[in-house]
Amino acid sequence: MSKFPAQSPRGFWYRFIAGILRPLLLAATARDWRGGHYLRIDGGIVVAMNHLSWYDPLVAAHFVNDNGRPVRFLAKVEIFKIPVLGAILKSAGQIPVQRGNSDAAAGSLRAAFAAIEDNQCVVIYPEGTLTRDPQLWPMTAKTGAARIALMTGAPVIPAAQWGPQEVLAPYSKRPKFFPRKTMHVWAGPEVDLDDLRALPVSAATLREATERIMRDITKILATQRDEVAPAVPLDRRTALPKKADS
């Protein structure tokens, strides 16, 4: 019998994917990892990140895995429909998210709750899609990360990444590995949600928690970029086509 449950990200397929991808990523890009010690705590955690490029899930997984936390992503269900790849990802413990379907979305949340209870690390892009901000700053976000954190008591570790967009520009399908790029991923201290955890999980509480999560991510990103972030983030509800925001 396997030492780990079938849906654990530490099983055969997870190790197989990591064993193939990590050497390739090490060869293709340089790394600027900071704040990894914030992930190395006992118990389940949520890592909330900004989303710049279709390449950055590989970078995010590399950072999290390098800091001792096998990673479970909440990823859109369309990826799991790709032949072979979808089956491998599901077997590796990744969690499909069905957009626009409340029953399926609830199932995804239950899977995330179970992962947290199993002391795992769940990585979430709170924006739910690539940022539409012209300067690639984070937009406003959905409340999934906040809901998981408030309903499970798990800490939320904010992290920002910068550099993946130089390998693969937003919505591009043509990677550019040369000249060699540096992937910057920095994590920060746990988002302060203590006062909200004692309150009912209402729409207002979820909005406030989500805003705090995104503020912390944006603050880290502004330091990475040595730039000033917009005072008001782009509103994802008006920035996204209706179908993409469903």
C-beta separation of 187 from 157 below 8 A: yes
What is residue 246's predicted lDDT score, i.e. its pLDDT? 32
Give the per-residue pLDDT at 103.
Answer: 55
d(CA 112, CA 220): 25
Q: What pLDDT, on the 0 to 100 scale, is given for residue 127? A: 95
What's the confidence (pLDDT) of residue 9? 58
- Beta-carbon count within 10 A of 31 CB: 15
Q: What angle do CA 92, 168, 238 make, to 5 degrees?
A: 90
Q: Rounded CA gap, 126 and 89, in Å? A: 20
Query: Tokens 């939320």 correspond to what residue?
Result: 156
- CA-to-CA separations, 246 to 128, 140, 155, 165, in angstroms, rounded: 10, 15, 28, 25
The one-letter amino acid code at 9 reads: P
CATH superfamily of 12-169+178-239: Glycerol-3-phosphate (1)-acyltransferase (3.40.1130.10)
Strand order in the sheet with 95-97: 29-34, 181-187, 156-162, 45-49, 121-124, 71-76, 95-97
- How do the pLDDT tens digits run along the chain, 246 residues long? 233 333 455 677 788 888 888 999 999 999 999 999 999 999 999 999 999 999 998 899 999 999 999 989 887 777 677 665 566 677 677 887 776 656 556 778 888 999 999 999 999 999 989 999 999 999 999 999 999 999 999 999 999 999 999 999 999 989 999 999 999 999 999 999 999 999 999 999 999 999 999 999 999 999 999 999 999 999 998 988 765 443
Q: What is the rounded distance in angstroms from the CA atom of residue 75 to the CA atom of residue 192?
A: 25
Helix (H) or strand (E) holding 234: none
**Residue 244: what are its φ and ψ, rounded to 5°?**
-70, -25
Q: Which of 66, 68, 57 is nearest to 23 (CA)?
A: 66
Q: Which residue has the tokens 């900071």?
A: 34
Closest CA to 179 of 167, 171, 165, 161: 167
End-to-end Cα spacing for the chain: 41
Structure tokens at 155: 């800490």
Question: What pLDDT does residue 96 have?
Answer: 78
